[in-house]
Amino acid sequence: MKRHLLSAADLDLPDALLILDTAAELAAVADRPVKKLPTLRGRTVVNLFFEDSTRTRISFEAAAKRLSADVINFAAKGSSVSKGESLKDTALTLEAMGADAVVIRHSASGAPHRLATSGWIRGSVVNAGDGTHEHPTQALLDAFTMRRHLAGGVGDLAGLDVVIVGDVLHSRVARSNVLLLRTLGAKVTLIAPPTLLPVGVELWPCSVSYDLDSSLPTADVVMMLRVQRERMSAAYFPSAREYSRRYGLDVNRMKLLQPHTIVMHPGPMNRGMEIAAEVADSPRSVIVEQVTNGVSVRMAVLYLLLGGSELSDGSNGVPVSEGRPL
């Protein structure tokens, strides 16, 4: 494993499988009455969120706390200092406080990379979403969820047919998923109106289509993306109704899916726009489970990046798998 997790491309197949396997072991802890492990006792994890977040911030906080780390939540939104200075000054403060890991979400693509390569801090940097660029832990929790449902919870995702639908242009989730799913052997198709595809998408390791209906019957996974209005400065489609008609997943479209196919969404959802409420709440939907799995996956990432700590009994506080510590 590299010292930082900035991009899904930082993970080769052994790294990705190690995180997913570790997350599976750690998920067992969530079923215990006492959900805490002493693994990161004495370590400090800072959640540095320059952009709004519900799921990701709470999930990282829960993950760090379940590993007994000290957690500092820094809601940096609203700072009047210019972005470059703000990031540097904040980083120097975090370093002075002895942060072992900094989990950063920022509206500027590349901000986590800047933090990791600047020399301002010594700890590990985890990208929790940077602009329209990447969100690697979301891709990991998505892969974890697919593996549980469609691959028996083990190994890679070779041959899995995954369609990712919607506002790819503004989606850091889509980019990270394409990269990680390629590493794990899945076949990915992006489906979006031409206006919501990024320039250069033909160079991404996936196929691209404008037709949702023809891709649904063979899909194993349908991942719907939020239409990110807050990042839109122009009109990318004629109307919300027209968008839903062509690219929304409603009950009729859901009938085209195979019995085993799962429906995913990273949240927050625009119910009635990219996904109908009946679909979001249907038995095929694993959307709530994605949130649950996010905690286990982020525990695994923090554990592996920070290396755990030796306990007085010589163990590292992580569950033992088949007689060998992870």
Catalytic residue numbers? 55-56, 83, 105, 135
The helix (H) or strand (E) run that includes residue 127 is: strand 124-130
Selected from 198, 267, 272, 307, the binder of ligand NCD by CB under 6 A is 267
Cβ count near 244 (within 10 Å) = 19
Q: Does 270 bind ligand NCD (CB under 6 A)?
A: no
> What are the tokens at 242?
């027209």
What character string, x for contact with ligand NCD (CB under 6 A) and - otherwise, covers 164-183? Answer: --------xx----------
What character string, x for contact with ligand NCD (CB under 6 A) and - otherwise, covers 115-154? Answer: --------------x-----x--x----------------
How much helix, strand and coil, in percent to the nearest 5, is found in the chain? 40, 15, 40
- The strand pairing partners of 188, in sequence order, are 162
Which of 172/284 has CB closer to ligand NCD?
A: 172
Query: Cα-flanking dihedrals φ and ψ of residue 110, to 5°?
Result: 100, -10
Q: Concatenate the DSSP letters of all residues of 44-77 into one string.
A: EEEEEESS--SHHHHHHHHHHHHTT-EEEEEE-T
Least separation in angstroms between residue 292's CB and ligand NCD is: 13
Selected from 55, 88, 246, 253, the binder of ligand NCD by CB under 6 A is 55
Q: Does 17 bind ligand NCD (CB under 6 A)?
A: no
Cβ count near 212 (within 10 Å) = 21
Give the chain's end-to-end CA distance (angstroms, integer): 14
Angle CA(119)–CA(125)–CA(127) in degrees, nearest 5? Answer: 130
Which of 134/220 has CB closer to ligand NCD?
A: 134
What character string, x for contact with ligand NCD (CB under 6 A) and - otherwise, covers 204-243? Answer: ----------------------x-x---------------
Least separation in angstroms between residue 172's CB and ligand NCD is: 5
Least separation in angstroms between residue 202's CB and ligand NCD is: 23
Least separation in angstroms between residue 66's CB and ligand NCD is: 19
Which of 14/268 has CB closer to ligand NCD?
A: 268
Q: Does 56 bind ligand NCD (CB under 6 A)?
A: yes
Of 110, 232, 117, 221, the closest CA to residue 169 belongs to: 232
Between the alpha carbon of residue 285 and those of residues 16, 158, 179, the distances in Å are: 24, 22, 23
Q: For ligand NCD, how many residues bind (rule: CB under 6 A)?
A: 11
Q: Which residues bind ligand NCD (CB under 6 A)?
A: 55-56, 129, 135, 138, 172-173, 226, 228, 266-267
